[in-house]
Amino acid sequence: MNSCENDIEAIERISFDVHSPDETTKNLKMIYSDEGYARVEIFASLAETFRGKEEITKIKDSLKVHFFNEKGEIVSKLTALYGEINYTKGTLMVKDSVRLYNYQKKQTLETEALFWNQKDSSIYSQSSVVVRSPKGTIFGEGIRTKQDFSKYELIKPVGHIVIDKELEIN
């Protein structure tokens, strides 16, 4: 009778890659909720999770994020080709063909990189941005807004826009 024994260290040297993800998911759907209500919904074609000092999920091949209001209605949508969720910090970084759309105002933010902070629901970018709406197009170098994209602050704005008469400019 013969028996064989596998040397675990030898197997790991052959088959273990420290750069491989700990988990791979196709067609990911993730929901962040607060008090039982959905606040954020993330869809991804391919997600790879890495666990180390920080737990990070890298989203490849496109992602879509829905942001909800208190009534459970989708108020804005974020899309990009790549993203990274950092669970340790509570942030999402997206890049490559980034679009944030507000359904009520029919306005779109376009940029190459953008960050979402789960703790305060803020979105910001230091990259060049374009905001398109029925009232006009504005360009800037950076932006700050909430996840619903109803109001925003452009950093170094340039462009022309129609301002409502009832709005007061300080």
pLDDT in tens, 80-98: 999 999 999 999 999 999 9
First vs last Cα of the chain: how many Å apart?
Answer: 90
pLDDT of residue 161: 65
User: pLDDT-derived band of residue 18, with 50, 70 and 90 as boundaries?
Assistant: low
Residue 154 placed within a domain: yes
Burial class (CB in 10 A: 0-12, 13-18, 19+), 48: middle
**In the predicted model, is pLDDT for residue 68 greater than 60?**
yes
Domain around 143: 20-161
Residue 2 placed within a domain: no
**In the predicted model, is pLDDT for residue 140 greater than 80?**
yes
Residue 124 placed within a domain: yes
Residue 149 placed within a domain: yes
Residue 4 placed within a domain: no
CATH number at residue 32: 2.60.450.10
Residue 50 placed within a domain: yes
pLDDT of residue 15: 53
| Domain count along the chain | 1
Residue 167 placed within a domain: no
Give tens-digit pLDDT for 115-138. 999 999 999 999 999 999 998 899
Residue 99 placed within a domain: yes
pLDDT of residue 170: 46
